[in-house]
Structure formats: structure tokens, C-alpha cells
Amino acid sequence: MPSRDIYISADIEADGPIPGPYSMLSFGLAVAGTSDGAQFVAADPAKSTFYAELRPISSQYDPGALGVSGLDRDRLLREGRDPAAAMDAAGSWVRDVAGTDLTPVFVAFPLSYDWMWMYWYFVRYAREGSPFGHSRCLDLKTTYAVKAGVPIAAASKSRLPRWLVSRRPHTHHALDDAIEQAELVAALFTWSAPGGAGESPPGRSSVN
């Protein structure tokens, strides 16, 4: 197995709470960086990305969830990518950026929602299944809670230290938010946090 990981920041937009009865409408992926377990090397998250808008797979949807993304579901029924084609392309992209020297790891905040959708769609539609296997994933919410020494309930995005959060806007466009989140990945990995949540910001990490 490769001795270094490549962290793929992921964000999805959906029209309901769970895949199957509801549909994933879009997703974005961005390379956040690599690590050998001892050193993290940040990437420019806008440099290597993948984005797709998908055709809904059912007629059922939650208007509230749909409203968050601002996506036009009727347009996606006409113009959205076929889920199988989109997941095959996404899987190929992940394998290409990882190559033979890196192990792809899926990261999100919180992991549970985005992973649930992406893993289900990969297993259901992609010919080669999930490029992340069934468990190569990292929850940034838990990462922050452990590093900051706070309970999970206190590890919401709204409670993150201001200097830890990307200055990019959170737009609810899946690719924008995946890129924004990739900067949080780099900040968390390069933060030693010896004094917990109130510790001053780390120095700049190296960028590919």
C-alpha cells in the first residue's frame, strides 16, 4: 500500500435527508493536500477539482432541502448528468489524482452526511465502486474536537476559531464549499493546538 494519503475534500447538495428515496443533486471534490502521517503538505484546492450536477433519481423531494442549494430540480431532470456516468467519472478522477503513490481519503465536515451520499452513489452506480473503499474517510468535526479538547457538541462550524476557518464564502455551491473546506483541512492538520481551542493560529503550511 502507498505510504502517503491524499485528502479529497467533498461537499454535496441533495434534495432530502437520505439517498434512495431522495436524490443527490450535485457534488464537488477538491484536493486538500497529502500526508505521510508525520507531515502534511497543503495543495492549492482550486487547482485540482471535480464537479457534477446530477439528474434526480426519484420524484420525492423535500422543498426545504432543495431550497438550501438553490438548484433548479426541473432543469436537472432535463440536463443533469446520468448518475452512473457522473460517479464513474468522479471515481476515475479520484484514482487519477491519487495515482499509484497515494491513498485517497475522503474528508468532510461533518463526514456523516456527505459520506453517506457519496458512498451510496458510488456503490449503487459506479462500475468500480468507491475509490475510497468502505472506510477511507476522515471527519473534520471529530478532528477539531480532539485537537481542541472540546465535546462534539461544541465542535460545530459556528464555534470554530475565526483564524481556523477559510476566508472563502460558504455559498452552498458544492464545488465552492469543497474548496473552502479544503483550506480547513490544511489549517487543522498544521495546527498543533497545544493550548486547545484558544491557541493562536499556526504558521502558513507549505503549498504544492
pLDDT category of residue 180 using cuts at 50, 70 and 90:
very high
Q: Which residues pair with 106 in a beta bridge?
A: 8, 137
Distances (CA, A) of 103 to 8, 33, 69: 10, 12, 31
| 134 labelled catalytic | no
Give CB contacts under 8 A, 24+ apart, made by 78-83: 79/53, 79/55, 80/25, 80/53, 80/54, 80/55, 80/56, 81/52, 81/53, 81/54, 81/55, 82/54, 82/55, 83/24, 83/54, 83/55, 83/57, 83/121, 83/124, 83/125
**Interval 5-32: pLDDT, tens:** 999 999 999 999 999 999 999 999 999 9
- 134, 170, 172, 173: which is the annotated catalytic residue? 172
pLDDT category of residue 200 using cuts at 50, 70 and 90:
low
pTM across the whole model? 0.90
**Interval 25-79: pLDDT, tens:** 999 999 999 999 999 999 999 999 999 999 999 999 999 999 998 899 999 999 9
Reported in sequence order, the residue ranges of the chain that DSSP labels E, i.e. its strands, are 4-14, 24-35, 40-42, 49-53, 102-108, 137-139
Q: Which domains does the chain have, with CATH numbers?
A: 4-198 (3.30.420.10)
